[in-house]
């Protein structure tokens, strides 16, 4: 009675037969050591194709927003980051050739994180990375490419370019972590970057596998893990991109709002902002101080508009240094709103500002020309509306000018400080 092939030849023959029954995968779809097929390209093309389309669409959107605004270069860096992420998805998911996957990972991973770090830096108002920093990343990538060209596919090949990517990732985290007065959007962006950092850390044990189909410490092949982590990164990247776009656009809106309420020459509030602040103090008590540069029109006519602007800027810096709510109302006219301040304290501040303006020295002015300013001070309260206080302060300012300028006049007492002051030039 003849034996069946599987009988009488021991476990060795059975293993050989089992091995013969293993399916032969098409090129690029290799079997794992236990006979399982790796992540099927056909099963993932839909998901990765959709993510790739989203990433590329976001990159184009960022580029279009930049072109429309003609500013915010962080959007261009973000577009470059998304483009690198899209190419990484294509190369590592659909790239059948090992050399293409190795080269793609070596170049695109550090480049993606470097572009992202520049995006973060510019979005939060910092300068781009230094040339030595960028050169270091470029050198590390070149080292990895050289090692890959030598046919070495171990940790020694991956260590340089992953170090380069880690440097850029750390730079992002430090920039966001050191940001003062973080908004909820900043915290959300920091959380997204931290999650990307976690994915990056999880990728570290993958490449040391000696063969692409060798099981890693996660129980999956290197290719399977790489594709899985790339997929996670691909889903996190659009989230981070949306947050960065929101931050950039929010910054632009805030900038436009700031310009609409500030005087471009001095940085002080303008009349619109002053009226808004005054309306918000209807139920408060305090002091309003009006200031007017003496003979400002004469300064403009005699020395020119440039010198006149410099005088206004000097007065604006003095008011900014006073750390009070100050506004520029006209060419040489300023106003200060001082809530919860007594008349005596308001007069004291006015005298201090008057002294500082008198000490301004500009090379465009004659050596004997001394800048002076006149002030009017009035109190406001819920019983004395701030609108009435402004009219009273204007009357006090007129008394100061009529008394010889370079003085502080108080409403309603009519007291003028100082009693003896040199006449304005």
Note whether 258 and 252 are within 8 A (CB).
no
pLDDT of residue 326: 94
Query: Which range has the top average pLDDT, 31-45, 80-94, 135-149?
Result: 135-149
Residue 406's domain comprises 271-417
Q: What is the pLDDT of residues 8-56, one digit of tens each?
A: 444 444 433 333 333 333 344 444 444 444 444 455 556 667 767 777 8
Same-domain pairing of 238 and 384: no
pLDDT at 351 exceeding the cut of 50: yes
Q: Does a structural domain hold residue 252?
A: yes
CATH of residue 292's domain is 3.30.70.270
Query: pTM above 0.75?
Result: no
Q: Does a structural domain hold residue 266?
A: no
DSSP tag of 73: T
Q: How many CB atoms lie within 10 A of CB 266?
A: 22
Same-domain pairing of 325 and 397: yes
Tell me which of 424 and 144 has the higher pLDDT: 144
Q: Does a structural domain hold residue 25?
A: no
Q: What is the pLDDT of residues 297-347, one digit of tens each?
A: 999 889 999 999 999 999 999 999 988 899 999 889 999 999 999 999 999
Same-domain pairing of 138 and 197: yes
Per-residue confidence at 285, pLDDT binned at 50, 70, 90? very high
Q: How many CB atoms lie within 10 A of CB 116?
A: 27
Q: Reduced to 3 states, what is the DSSP secondary structure of residue 326?
A: strand
Same-domain pairing of 362 and 407: yes
Q: Does a structural domain hold residue 1?
A: no
Q: Does a structural domain hold residue 27?
A: no
Pairing mode of beta strands 416-417, 325-328 = unpaired
Tell me which of 291 and 65 has the higher pLDDT: 291
pLDDT at 419 exceeding the cut of 60: no
User: Both tokens of residue 396?
Assistant: 């006090």
Note whether 373 and 353 are within 8 A (CB).
yes
Same-domain pairing of 285 and 247: no
Per-residue confidence at 393, pLDDT binned at 50, 70, 90? very high
Q: What is the pLDDT of residues 204-255, one digit of tens each?
A: 655 554 455 555 555 666 667 667 776 777 678 778 878 888 887 887 788 8
Q: What is the pLDDT of residues 169-218, one digit of tens each?
A: 999 999 988 888 888 888 998 998 898 888 878 766 555 544 555 555 55
Same-domain pairing of 155 and 248: yes
Pairing mode of beta strands 373-380, 325-328 = unpaired
Same-domain pairing of 54 and 125: yes
Please, is 217 exposed, middle or buried when counting C-beta atoms within 10 Å of its C-beta (0-12, 13-18, 19+)?
exposed
Note whether 312 and 330 are within 8 A (CB).
no
Per-residue confidence at 363, pLDDT binned at 50, 70, 90? confident
Report phi then psi at 22, rounded to 5. -65, 135
Domain closes at, from 203, 234, 261: 261
CATH of residue 102's domain is 1.20.1070.10
Same-domain pairing of 118 and 234: yes
């Amino acid at each position: 009675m003849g034996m069946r092939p599987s009988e009488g030849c021991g476990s060795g023959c059975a293993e050989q037969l089992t091995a013969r029954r293993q399916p032969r995968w098409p090129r690029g779809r290799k079997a794992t050591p236990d006979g399982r097929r790796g992540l099927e390209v056909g099963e993932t093309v839909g998901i990765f194709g959709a993510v790739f389309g989203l990433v590329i669409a976001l990159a184009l959107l960022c580029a279009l927003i930049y072109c429309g605004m003609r500013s915010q270069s962080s959007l261009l860096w973000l577009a470059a980051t998304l483009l690198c992420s899209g190419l990484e998805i294509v190369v590592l998911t659909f790239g059948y050739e090992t050399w293409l996957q190795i080269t793609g990972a070596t170049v695109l991973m550090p480049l993606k994180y470097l572009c992202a770090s520049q995006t973060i830096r510019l979005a939060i108002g910092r300068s781009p990375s230094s040339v030595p920093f960028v050169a270091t990343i470029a050198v590390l990538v070149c080292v990895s490419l050289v090692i890959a060209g030598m046919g070495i596919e171990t940790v020694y090949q991956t260590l340089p370019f992953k170090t380069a990517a880690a440097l850029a990732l750390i730079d992002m985290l430090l920039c966001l972590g050191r940001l003062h007065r973080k908004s909820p959007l900043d915290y959300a962006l920091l959380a997204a970057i931290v999650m990307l950092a976690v994915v990056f850390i999880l990728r570290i044990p993958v490449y040391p596998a000696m063969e692409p189909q060798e099981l890693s410490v996660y129980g999956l092949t290197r290719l399977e893990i790489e594709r899985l982590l790339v997929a996670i990164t691909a889903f996190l990247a659009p989230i981070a991109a949306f947050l960065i776009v929101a931050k950039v656009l929010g910054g632009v809106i805030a900038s436009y709002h700031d310009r609409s309420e500030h005087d471009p020459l001095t940085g002080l509030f303008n009349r619109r902002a002053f009226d808004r602040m005054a309306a918000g103090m209807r139920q408060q008590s305090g002091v309003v101080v009006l200031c007017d540069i003496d003979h400002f029109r004469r300064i403009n006519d005699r020395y020119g508009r440039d010198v006149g602007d410099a005088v206004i800027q000097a007065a604006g810096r003095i008011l900014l240094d006073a750390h009070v709510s100050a506004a520029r109302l006209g060419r040489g006219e300023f106003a200060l709103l001082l809530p919860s301040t007594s008349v005596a304290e308001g007069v004291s501040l006015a005298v201090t500002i008057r002294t500082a303006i008198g000490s301004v020295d500009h090379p465009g002015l004659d050596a004997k020309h001394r800048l002076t300013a006149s002030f009017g001070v009035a109190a406001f309260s819920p019983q004395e509306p701030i609108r009435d206080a402004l009219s009273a302060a204007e009357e006090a300012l007129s008394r100061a000018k009529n008394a010889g300028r370079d003085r502080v006049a108080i409403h309603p007492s009519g007291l003028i400080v100082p009693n003896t002051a040199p006449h304005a030039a």
